[in-house]
Amino acid sequence: MPSNGQAREPAFDLISIAHALLVGEHLSFRQAAAALGVRQSAVSRRIRSLEDRLGVSLFERHHSGVRVTPAGASFIDRARHALSQLDDAVKSAEAAGRGENGHVRIGICSSIGSGFLHELISAFRAQHPEVALQISEIASRDHVILIRKARLDIAFVLGVPDVPNFETARLWTERIFVVLPQDHQLCVTREIEWEALRNEHFIFRHSDPGPAIQDHVIKRLVRLGQRPNMQRFDVGRETSMHLVGLGLGVTLTSEATIASTFPGVEFRPISGDGDAVTFSGVWSPKNDNPAFRRFLSLARVAAKRWEKQIGNVMTPSAGSMISRSADYCLAFVAAISQTLDLLT
């Protein structure tokens, strides 16, 4: 920068470089001017000004045309590469602004083996294959901290929390299932009443959704005048299933989990319609990530259609657990298909 504090004038401009590339391609000022739709004198002035600024001749002029100098050949080669990179950068930025690339950072606390979240992520990936998805599975309270620190775009959490300065939307519900050792006497039933669980030993995880499901069990059994017999383990979802398979007790899980296979366990739905867990999305209203905004739009519209479609699925009779889950998946596919039509 000059000593007088004034910014130094650029040594060149993109228009002059573009003119130089065309002259080098056509080896003619006249043909380059014709391609640009300008006067030949305008091209000549720009090239001369560029050469003066660079302090080197790019072209040798003669009556039969133009010859590129060695310095000019080097300049044109590097300038062409630089402009190609600049064009890529502009296109990438424009695509990011449209949410066509970039990344979305997602926090989850439930299984994505099946159900709403599984289908949502699958649909978004199909529509936006260039967007990178980063998924973290940690406790709901930690998700909120990461969103506040701008390290997550959205978290899918249990319930409908009221988080100051955040936005929350109820998105979907999942039915609660009992997880039983495969030799348990209740495996002969197709749906389980709470009364049949009053004397069972329950095992729960410290991490989500363990505490919420534990609270649900306590409320249900207390209504029956029974104090629950329970034990908590600091384990993950898979290990808790293995603990059930080993006969340490029974547990409960949300509907998305039943798509996964675990040795030694069986899943049975709790009879009635009142046993379900609700999941919501939580995000910062200040988040202007275009890719995230597209993801959120898909989630919100799909949730409305999911609820409508699921409402039309008949309540299953005993033993139709698998059929009901298949109906859920088909309903979601229909909802996503309609949503994609709206967003394209």
| CATH code of the domain occupying 14-97 | 1.10.10.10
- Which residue from 129, 131, 134, 132 is spatially nearest to 107, judged by alpha carbons? 134
The predicted structure's pLDDT at residue 92: 65
CA distance linking residue 248 with residue 30, whole number of Å: 87
Structure tokens at 60: 């040798």
Above 60 in pLDDT, residue 335? no
Highest mean pLDDT among 90-94, 224-228, 282-286, 327-331: 282-286
* 265 — pLDDT class (breaks 50, 70, 90): very high
Contact 270, 200 (CB under 8 A): no
Could you give the C-alpha distances from 297 to 21, 87, 169, 197, in angstroms and in order?
44, 29, 11, 41
Single-letter amino acid, residue 239? T
How confident is the model over 204-237, as pLDDT tens digits?
988 777 788 888 898 889 988 988 899 999 998 8
CA distance linking residue 187 with residue 192, whole number of Å: 9
Above 50 in pLDDT, residue 317? no
How confident is the model over 23-61, as pLDDT tens digits?
888 888 888 888 888 898 888 888 888 888 888 888 888
The predicted structure's pLDDT at residue 312: 54
Beta bridge partners of 140: none
CA distance linking residue 331 with residue 334, whole number of Å: 5
Contact 192, 319 (CB under 8 A): no
CA distance linking residue 214 with residue 211, whole number of Å: 5
Helix 14-26, helix 29-36: angle, nearest 10: 120
Sign of CA dihedral 107, 110, 111, 112: negative
Q: Report the b/e string of 264-298 with b at 16+ CB within 10 A.
A: ebbbbbbeeeebebebbbbbbeeeebbbbebbbeb
The predicted structure's pLDDT at residue 101: 59
**Percentage of the chain exceeding pLDDT 90:** 31
DSSP 57: -
* 2 — pLDDT class (breaks 50, 70, 90): very low
How confident is the model over 112-169, as pLDDT tens digits?
888 899 999 999 999 889 899 999 988 777 888 899 999 999 999 988 888 899 999 9
Provide the whole-model pTM.
0.63
145 CB neighbour count, 10 Å cutoff = 13
Q: What is the DSSP string of 260-312?
A: S--TTEEEEEBSSSS-EEEEEEEE-TT---HHHHHHHHHHHHHHHHHHHHHHT
More confident position, 148 or 337: 148
